[in-house]
Amino acid sequence: MDNRLQSIFSWLRQFGAVEKREWEYVIRYNQALRSLNSRYNGRVSVTIRDFQPADFDTLWRIDQTCFPAGISYSRAELRIYMRRRGAFTLVATNTASIAKSGSVSGKDKIHSLPMDGEICGFLVGEAGARARGHIITIDVIAATRGQGIGSLLLRAAEDRLISDGCRIVELETAVDNISALSFYKRHNYSVIKTFPRYYSNGVDALVLEKTLI
């Protein structure tokens, strides 16, 4: 077991999230690492902007590729979350050409590198009551993961929440989403509790929290 995985396991054991099925987490972690190893050498330059209505279908398709059935949102669910009181949606678009090794062979545009101006990720968040914010989802297309886009989206959302008067932000992620847990740990989020069978596919969720100010 490598040091990163050991660190995450130690972090999760505090909350009883990793005990009997650690081998499943090892498998999923290794799969996540493979998916993050891009064939492309260049880095993506992005602009973070507010959602526009014409973006919706692209965002929904991205969500379908980022999460498995039972965790990804239906069109209706995504619309509901995006329209909630205090909700906002940030969109990351590519603003520079991308140097790559090899050619893009994927049939689905969502799986290939974005052209200039195309969407490569998005975040839905909301400023709630009692100075608490909520990150509903962060989605980045597979071809541009590991390029810092998720971090840019998260920082922009945290700045938005602070400007809206939020002092704390929380979010949920599946207990077996090791790459997401590693990402949030790097951004100083801490697990505060577990929601058993939170997702419709029966997977538990971990609730993570961060103090903003």
pLDDT digits (tens, 9 = 90+) for 80-99: 999 999 999 999 999 864 43
The reported pLDDT for the residue numbered 68 is 93
Closest by CA to 59, choosing from 32, 35, 93, 107, is 93
Q: Rounded CA gap, 165 and 171, in Å?
A: 17
Q: Are 124 and 153 in contact (CB under 8 A)?
A: no
Provide mean pLDDT across the span 115-133.
92
The reported pLDDT for the residue numbered 117 is 82
Q: Is the pTM of this model over 0.85?
A: no
The reported pLDDT for the residue numbered 78 is 98
Residues in the chain: 213
The token pair at 183 is 């990402």
pLDDT at 109 over 90: no
The reported pLDDT for the residue numbered 95 is 81
pLDDT at 28 over 70: no
Q: Per CATH, the architecture of 3-211 is what?
A: 3-Layer(aba) Sandwich (3.40)
pLDDT at 111 over 60: no
The reported pLDDT for the residue numbered 108 is 53
Render pLDDT for 40-84 as a digit per residue (tens, 0 to 9): 334 568 999 999 999 999 999 999 999 999 999 999 999 999 999
Render pLDDT for 138-157 as a digit per residue (tens, 0 to 9): 999 999 999 999 999 999 99
Domain boundaries, the chain: 3-211
Q: Rounded CA gap, 10 and 6, in Å?
A: 6
Q: Rounded CA gap, 79 and 124, in Å?
A: 10
